[in-house]
Structure 1
Amino acid sequence: MIYDCQKKEISFEPVFTILIPSWNNLDYLKFVVQSIYKNSVHKHQIIVHINEGKDGSLEWIKEQKEISYSYSSENCGVCYGFNLASHMADSPYLVFIDDDLYLCPDWDELLLAEIKKMPDEKWCISSTMIEPTDKGISCIIPNKNFGFHPSEFDEELFLSEYKSYPKEDWNGSQWYPMVLPTMVYRAVGGLSPEFSPGMYSDPDFMIKLWHYGIRYYKGVSASRAYHFGSRSTGRVKRNDGRSEFILKWGLSSNTFFNNYLKIGTEFLGYLPDPEETNFLKFKKWIDRWKVKFKTRPVKFWKE
């Protein structure tokens, strides 16, 4: 596999460094970058990781004067993609986004207002996604269909409506767009490559932040983004992230989200450490045994 990086000079001091991994999604990539330029209050450094780039995205990114990029000749996944791109960051805050998003007006100012309230660097804050379908995810505003591709997107209608959708601030902040201090990302070692190409790398990152001492995981309702859908995850050969997570941490991601992050519940401030009740101990025991007795092929011959 061939890797490359190109850091481009910018003529301003960035508020955020925005990291975007992209895998042959040029139409979406152009659209999300356009939304950043159009709908941001502040100026930000943009760094894109190009996986393969067989659709012209590598040539396009090279033409952009102030967008830095990293590149892998094959799809190395989001873990290596984010980590590689993050080394070129110049701002104190990293923003993680997918290439199939459209960022709404003032998204960055609303996140920055939350950051300014923080007494230290131990926090993780997300915007709130709006999606065309209902996946049963409590952190997301569902069933607001404005298209599954940028060519279908009714931008004028969307901008006239998106603020009106009711939603409380929520606990859990593991969804993109997500912002956290650059030094925190580097302190915990970024995303864990053992989860490549990326399934369950986000829950793993959240629990790494938890062990680092972060207890402030806020989803900001007013800062919003439209999510066209998982354009890349449907194509990738998935790792068994569920089992990898349990084997690494001794509990399932669901146990962590429900008992530690309280994901999707109303945001009430800093999260307490969960009480180690008999129920929680039993839940962790069940999680470990699910992996231990996971069905595997039985061979009746000697290789």
Structure 2
Amino acid sequence: MSTKLTSIVIPTNNGLPLLQRLIQSIRTYTDDRITPYELIVVDNGSSDGTAEWCVGRGITFIALSANAGFPAACNKGLRIASGDQLMLLNNDIVVTTNWLLNLSSGLAQEPGIGLVGPVTNYASGKQQVTYSFDGIEQFMRIAEQTNRPDPAARERVLRIVGLCMLIKREVYEKVGELDERFSPGHYEDDDYCLRVRMNGYGLMMCRDALIYHEGSASFRQQSEETVQQLLARNRQLFIDKWSIDPSTFIGT
């Protein structure tokens, strides 16, 4: 059982229906008596009423005048976060039964673990798992069966995808912020995971925390060619920074 406060930082850009769905799922499936949390929405220049909706519901909100990208938005949210644990969460997620409880348990399971993540239906690498489901309601029932707390269902990995990362505050204070050279996004999570490991912390994937991911919702607003160019550019930025090909640990 975790009584540590978790700050949940959610960047968003013109995705109000997704954000509403996510926050509803957080309210429904997170017992704040067991896993207390605060919400911090960072809005990348939306024009769809996101600001009014968040303010009207008393949600801590940071408004950026333009789209600064995922890393910058995360950093701005992290700077005002007060939690013992810090979570970066995509707006196109739907959380599930026991999601935060099991992730928090994974983070505390071994002293050397600094960052954990869930499994999901849409991700790269090991975190993608395959379940047959017809619609979100059936997925939620599968997650209810899957998300029974189980320390044996958690394993050390070399990489956690940035769609849902839970980080110890001491790790954030030691490792620092996301590297904004990767804006608007892609490979900033690989970079962060590498830096966490370089500072002596381990990463853990929690198979007892299955969440739903819509998948690249913000980047779908761009053409496939634009996305591929961004991926290629940021991959090269990563290689230039570390002299390591990120594909060496993406699948692990």
The alpha-carbon deviation at position 36 of structure 1 amounts to 0.7
Write the letter of the residue equivalent to 2:246: S
Provide closer, same or farther for how the CA distance between residues 136 and 71 of structure 1 changes in structure 2, counting only shifts above 3 A: closer
Given the two structures, how large is their TM-score scaled by the length of structure 2?
A: 0.84
Q: Which aligned pairs between 1:149-298 and structure 2 lie closer than 5 A?
A: 153=136, 155=137, 157-163=138-144, 169-170=154-155, 171-175=157-161, 176-214=163-201, 216-236=202-222, 238=227, 239=230, 240-257=233-250, 263=252
Cα deviation, residue 14, structure 1: 6.2
State the shift of 1:145 in Å: 4.9
User: 1:146, 1:75 → 2: CA distance?
Assistant: 34
Q: CA deviation at 1:101?
A: 0.4
Report the Cα offset of residue 159 of structure 1.
Answer: 2.7
Deviations 1:174-207 (A, max 9, x none): 1232211123223222100111111211111111
Aligned AA for 1:247?
A: D
Q: Output one character per residue of 1:219-253: Cα deviation in whole Å (capped at 9) or x when no partner.
A: 10111210112101223555411100000000110
Distance, in Å, in 1 between the alignment partners of 2:57 and 2:4 is 17
Q: Distance in 2 between matches of 1:197 and 1:159?
A: 31
Aligned length: 234
1:24 and 2:22 matched: no
Match of 1:60 in 2: 53
Matched AA of 2:143:
Y
**Misfit runs of 4+, over 6 Å:** none
Secondary structure (helix, strand or coil) at the match of 2:127 reads coil
Matched, 1:105 2:97: yes
Relative to its length, the structure with more helix (as a share) is 2
Are 1:138 and 2:138 an aligned pair? no
Q: Is the CA contact (8 Å cut-off) linking 2:143 and 2:211 kept in structure 1?
A: no
> Structure 2: how far apart are the matches of 1:199 and 1:84?
18
For structure 1, the residue ranges without an aligned partner over 5 or more in a row are 1-12, 148-152, 264-303
Higher mean C-alpha displacement, 159-168 vs 111-120: 159-168
Alpha-carbon distance change, 111 to 102 in structure 1, aligned in 2, over 3 angstroms: same
Structure that is richer in strand per residue = 2
Does 1 or 2 have the higher relative contact order (CA < 8 Å, sep 6+)?
2
Q: Which amino acid aligns with 2:177?
A: G
- Could you list the per-position Cα deviations for residues 35-54 of structure 1 after superposition, in whole angstroms to 9, with x for gaps in the alignment? 11100122311101101121
In the TM superposition, what is the alpha-carbon distance from 1:99 to its structure 2 partner?
0.3
* Cα displacement string for residues 138-171 of structure 1 (whole angstroms, at most 9, x for unaligned residues): 3211364555xxxxx4x2x333223556995442
**Equivalents in 1 of 2:249, 2:209: separation in Å?**
25
Identical-residue share of aligned pairs (%): 24
Q: Check 1:168–1:199 CA distance in 2 against 1; reply closer, same or farther (3 A cut).
A: same
CA positional deviation for 1:76: 0.4
Is the 2:118–2:127 Cα contact (8 Å) retained in structure 1? no
Letter in 1 for 2:12: S
Aligned CA distance change for structure 1 residues 209 and 136 (closer, same or farther; 3 Å): closer
Equivalent pair of 1:47/1:69 in contact (CA under 8 Å): yes
